[in-house]
Every structure is written in C-alpha cells, then in structure tokens.
Structure 1
Amino acid sequence: MTPCLNAVAMRNTKYQQYYNRTVIEVHYRLAKNLSQEELELRKHSEAGLSSLSVFFVIICSIIILENLLVLIAVFRNKKFHSAMFFFIGNLAFSDLLAGSAYIANIFLSGSHTFRLVPVQWFIREGTAFIALAASVFSLLAIAIERYIAITKVKVYGSNKTCRMFVLIGTCWLMSVVLGGLPIMGWNCMEALHECSAVLPLYSTRYIFFVVTIFSIILLSIVVLYVRIYLIVRSSHQEAASSPAYALLKTVTIVLGVFIVCWLPAFTVLLLDTSCGMASCPVLSLADVFFGFATLNSALNPLIYTLRSKDMRREFLRVLCCWGVLRCGQAAHPCMLPLKSTSSMEQCTNKHEQQAMPIMQDCTTCV
C-alpha cells in the first residue's frame, strides 16, 4: 500500500472512532488520572445537578434574557439601526449563544458524558468554544470599528456597511473554524500522551493555540482602545473634562471586566498544556473558571448598552410593553421619545462633530 493510501486509511480509522463510546472512557481515565473504580463511580453517579451547576444555569438564563432584550431593543427602534448598534447586537447574539451553549454543556456533563460518542462530545465542547470565541471576536470587531471610524473618516461614509458585514462575517467564520478544529481532526485520539486533562479529547497543542489567539486578541483590544483614547483626548482642548474621562472610564471597565473574567480560565488552560492532573489538582476546578469566564457574557450588555440612556429607555419601553414593569399611563415608556444621550455619547458626538463631520450620525461610544 502506498504512503498516501496508508494515510487515508489511518484517517478513516480515526474518524470511525468518533462513534466509539469507549473512547471517552479511555481518555477520561488516562487524562484525569482516574482509577477504574473512580471512573465507574463517575459513570454511575446520580444525574441530578449540583448546587454549583444550578447556580450557573441561573446565570446563563440571565445571560440569555438580557441579551435577548438587547436584540429586541436594537430590532424595535430604528434609531439603533446603525453600524455601531449592529455590532452591539452581534455581540449580544454571540453572548446569548454562549449562555445557551453553556447550559447545554451543563446538562450533558457528569455521568451523561459517558453516554456520548466522541462526535457528540466534540459538538458539545465545540459549540461552547464557538459561542465564547464569537463573543471575544465581537469585542475585537467593535474596537476595530471604533478605531477605523476615528482614524479613517474619509472612507467611513462610503464603505461603512460593507466593512460592518465583513467584520461580523469574519468574526463568525474565525469562531467556527477555531471551535471546529478538534472535530476536523486536531485532537488527541491517536496520541493519548498529548491529551488535555481539562478537555480529555483535545490536544494540549490545540489548547495552547487557543490561549495564544485569545491573548493576542486581548492585547489588540488594549492597544486599540488606548489609541482611541489618545486620539479623543488630543482632539479636546479641555483634556481633563468629564466627557474625556468618561471615555477612559468606559474603556477601563471594558478591559478590566474582560481580564478579570478570562484570566483565571486562561491560566488554567495554560497550566493544562504543561501540567497533569496529578501534579496540578487545580485543573479539577476548571469548570468553575469556565463558568466565571461566562460571566463576561452577562456583563457585556451592561457595559456596552446600559451606559447609553437611549438604550436604557428602550429597555424600559420593551419591559413595560411586555407587562414586566408597571408604568404610569402619563409617562408610559412605550410612548417616550428618545431624545437625550448619555455623557459617553456626548463625548463621541462632540469629538466627531469637531473633527469628523461625516460621522455626525454616530451616537455610541464604546
């Protein structure tokens, strides 16, 4: 048999293992350093949720509801039908999927894990990776859009829509590719010594690659927002004015929450690439760190939308129209016009009106 045919045969054999349920048992026992008795205990444990899992299910439900509210607000109000709000809507959609994927992950974990075949396991983990990656890439897309809008004003009006779709499309394409690499073949099913202790069918090289990508994204967001702040500050004569510092406050909140939520998960994943379960018992708490990282999806709507008075008013309008809130007829939020803007939006408007006339229609600063 020729080398090419040998490679094809080996690959076909590998993909056939995607439907072998015993593969998961073998990988979990070796990667997590379990004895046969411990493995059997996990397989036959009660299917009920722990208190921690119930807590994360509640958090994910909140994530779904608040991001659904953002999407409805953007869809209902034509004032929000602009490029920047579409990016916020894209972020909300990715966060909504992240919450949904994490709930599914919780209900398919524990003893249910050993009832899955590898292809189902890859879909379970890959969906969560795609959703969380889309959320992170959306943050980067927003930073890129803001930076281009400020520094490339001459082309902003002509290709704004095209750039918006390119950035959003690239965000999801990269997320699907990144989350789908393991099921496409980059896994450790033929190299048990390379398996992750946290995600036993994933290769540690793939884990290191993902952490590297997210670290580059974090650095890029930091650089872009620092540049945005410096440009905005240099365009104001009163550099120490409250709008300028309001912008700095928002940027600090965004970066701070991103780092606080993701740093523990990144740290655990980095440990996973160089440390086994026996020598690094902290890896057994990886689910807690991943759950904490998911909180970023709950905080994103607060950071990117609730600092806008217009968005807050639209939230109230939607909640009142749904009957969730009791609103007086004289000041019914469904009937209130959206006129005023937040200090953050005034900061952006003032900057753009002075230096960038083409962008006077933009009313959001992130």
Structure 2
Amino acid sequence: MEYFNSTENWTANSTELTPTVTYPFPPSGYHNAHIIVWSIVVGLIIIGIVFGNSLVCISVVRVRALKGTQYRFLVSLALADLMVGILIVPLSITNELLGCWVFGTFLCLMWKVIDVLACTASILNLCLISLDRYYSITRPIKYAKWRTHRRAYFMIGAVWTLSFIISVPPLFGWRNEDKTVNGYFLCEVSSDPGYVLYSTMGSFFIPAFVMVFVYIRIWGAAKKHARTSLGQGIGDPRPSPSQAGNCGKSTAYELVDTDEASSQAAGAMLRVDKNRNNQNGGKLSPQEPPGSRRFTNNSMLSPNSASSDIRRRTSSCDYREVDRKRRKVAQARERRATVVLGIIMGSFLACWYPFFQLYVIATVCGDACNIPDFLFKFVFWIGYCNSALNPLIYTIFNRDFRKAFKKVLGIGR
C-alpha cells in the first residue's frame, strides 16, 4: 500500500526542538476523484447484488409457480449473495478507500470470518445446484421421488455447515496477527499458509472441480437426450396430427406392384387416412402418379392382385422435410444448452479463479513473486461481482422466473 509523503512539524519541548510526524488521512493514497469513481462503481455492484437476490427470494415466496423443491436451492444461493452485498462489500470498500480499518479489531475478525462464510456458501450452493441439475437430467424419475422438501433442506443445511466449518478457524487462533502501520490498523485477508490452503481448497478448488466435471456430464446428457428425442420420431411413417397440419392439403393414392414373396395373400389392404385439411373431404384425389394405376372408391380388387400393395402418398408433404425440421429443433436445443452451461461455468471461473489462484501464489511465494498490488485488488473485487451475476444467470434462462419477476415488479399487467 502506498502512502502520501509524511510532513514534519517542529514543536518546542523545554530546551530542545523535537519533530512531530503527521500522516494524511486517509492513508490509502486515493484522491477525491478516485474515491468518487470507486464509490459509484461499488455502489452499483451493491445495488445489483441486493436488488437481484432480493427479487429471487420474494418471487419464490409469492409466486406459486416457484414452489418446487429445486427453487429452494436458488433461495439459499440468493441469501448467501445477500450476505455478501449487505455485510461484506460495504465494509470492504470502506477499508479499501480509507486504507485502514476504523471499526475495531473484533469487527475486523468477524468481518473476515463472515466474508469467508458468505463467499464459500455462495460457491457451495452453486455446486449443489449443479449436482441437482445433473441428477434431475440423468435420473429424472428416481431423483424426483428422492428429492423431498426435507432432503432439500438437509442438503442446504449441509452446505451452510460446511461453509461454517471452513470459515471459523480464525476465531480459534488459526490466523496471522494483524498489523499496525504508522498508527493505522490494517485489516487484511489472512496470509497464514496453512489456513489459506485449507480454506481455498474447501471454498473453491474442490467445488470448482466438482462443478466442471458435473457440467461436462450435464452437457453430454443433454446432447444424448436431444438425439434420443430426435430418434424416437424417425422411422414413423405417419405424421402426427400437428405434423400433418403442416403438410399439403391434397392426398393421392397409388397402387404399386411389389415383388416381395411375403405378399402372396389374396386381395390387398387399403390404408386410408383422412386428412383434416383435405379440401376433397377425405375422398381420393384424381391424381394418377406415373407408373401406378388409379382407382376410385367403387374399384374392386380382383383376387389375382395378391402381389400388389396399396399405399398412400402425400402430394405436397415430404416426410424427410418433417425429419429435417425435427433435427433442426433438436440441434437448436443442444446449442442452447451448450450456451447456458458455457455462461454458467465461464462466469463462475472468470469471477473466482483469478482471485483464489493469486491468493495461493501470494501466500506461498510471498514477496518473491512480486504480485502487483492493483492486480490483486482487481481480482479481489471481481469475485464479489459473481454475487450480482448469479441471480441473472440462474433466472434469466428460466421462463417461470422471468414471469415471476414481471409479476412482482408489476410489469406487463
């Protein structure tokens, strides 16, 4: 931390002059313009965190469509992020702009413990949500029966308990001593190597590994599901009513000779499906396809036509076109799932990985690594931004949440 140059004033003390060294306040070195910019930016972050996560909680409480068990996990995540926005970020920006801690040693210790608790709970809730989505996709029926409200609350309780276990050791002495420089008390993140490795592994690296692994599996499962859904429709020679509506409005029937040895039965089977959109009222079309013999409702098939088969041919609907459209929809769903998962993992890693990586390097390497102070501050604050992004990422792709937000905010009534 850089400080302004100190000034010396000389005071008379009986028979000699003694210098009195005074230091400017604040000792952070920020000018007024810097303080204003920092305050505006961080103020917007706080507003985003509090507004977005409060809206999630209110929506789940008030909107009936969000009463599902899975939404409890999002409320737990929102509560953790609210702690970050209300209890952590305001004190962090005050400590940053002043360059010292003015709230006492006890509050300094509690602030650091709650900081680790809230950020860890936020990350572990993200991990819990990823596991919930994975089992919902891979074992939908079995997991839906297993995931009762009671078990959901138990899993949420386990997340907060683990977060508490990771965050409280400094209360029992596992921490480095706080420093006082030029009479100013500094409240800094812990630099005790043992606790840093312990907390970073439990708070980030292990949950991050689980999330990356699980989301890769989710992406694969979603891709497989899309292909399976596509394959179920292929090979069905008859379109569904909705598909038939997209076909042509006239139907022609043709008598086609077959050479198959298995069709040696007397007579032939006529398969007639009436098209609701058929302008001919379901009657046979007078079209005569090349190479086929036309017949009418009064036509009689002789017993000698055992080697013949009657089949329907739509004149303006190619089933391959239906299959192509179905494949296009499946591919669009696959791309959408890939984009959503990419945004989730990309934002999480972009916000938290730089801080935890530099935190470990700075602790293990010390001054030898010479990490720039501005770089560490930058990644430190980017981590907090994840608490503002979570309510956007985990709800903007959810139609029920979008409707709930509009209802709570009174939009579109």
State TM-score, norm by structure 1.
Answer: 0.69
2:110 to 110, 120, 123: 123
Matched-pair identity in %: 24
* Alignment map for 1:82-231 (pairs within 5 Å): 82-100=68-86, 101-111=88-98, 113-152=100-139, 153-189=141-177, 199=188, 201-213=190-202, 214-231=204-221
Contact 2:135–2:143 at 8 Å: present in 1 too?
Answer: no
Task: Give, in angstroms, the shift of residue 258 of structure 1.
Answer: 0.7
1:227–1:269 Cα change, 3 Å: same
CA distance 1:138–1:228, shift in 2 (3 Å): same
Partner of 1:233: 223
Distance 1:51 1:204, change over 3 A: farther
Q: Which of the pair is proportionally richer in helix?
A: 1
CA change 1:45–1:90 in 2 (3 A) is same
Q: Structure 2 CA distance, aligned partners of 1:199 and 1:190?
A: 7
1:209-264 per-residue CA deviation (whole Å, 9 max, x = no partner) reads 22223111111001111112222322333385212221121111100111111122
Give the match's secondary structure for 1:230.
helix
Shift of residue 37, structure 1, vs aligned partner: 6.3
What is the identity, as a one-letter code, of the residue corresponding to 1:104? L
Instruction: Give the AA of the match of 1:273.
Output: T
Deviation at 1:109, TM superposition (A): 4.8
- Higher RCO (C-alpha under 8 Å, 6+ residues apart): 1
Q: Distance in 2 between matches of 1:312 and 1:210?
A: 36
- Measure the CA separation in 1 of the matches of 2:364 and 2:23: 28
- CA–CA distance in structure 2, aligned partners of residues 202 and 220 of structure 1: 26
Aligned residue in 2 for 1:263:
353
Q: Is 2:48 aligned against 1:58?
A: no
Specify which structure has the higher proportion of strand: 2
Question: What code does the residue aligned with 1:241 have?
Answer: Q
Aligned residue pairs total 288
Instruction: Note if contact 1:205-1:273 (Cα within 8 Å) is conserved in structure 2.
Output: no
Measured after TM superposition, the shift of residue 272 of structure 1 is 1.5
Query: CA contact under 8 A between 2:351 and 2:385: conserved in structure 1?
Result: yes
SS across alignment from 1:305: helix
Aligned mate of 2:382, from 267, 292, 299: 292
RMSD (Å) for aligned C-alpha atoms? 3.3
Cα distance in structure 2, aligned partners of 1:160 and 1:317: 27
TM-score normalised per structure 2? 0.62
Aligned to 2:405: 315
Whichever of the two has the greater Rg, that structure is 2
More deviation, 211-220/136-145: 211-220
Distance 1:250 1:258 in 2: 12
Bigger shift: 65-74 or 118-127? 118-127
Are the structure 2 counterparts of residues 251 and 35 from structure 1 closer, same or farther at C-alpha, using a change threshold of 3 Å? same
What is the DSSP-based 3-state SS (H/G/I as helix, E as strand, rest coil) of the residue aligned with 1:63? helix
The gaps in structure 2 that reach 5 residues or longer are 8-20, 180-185, 231-326
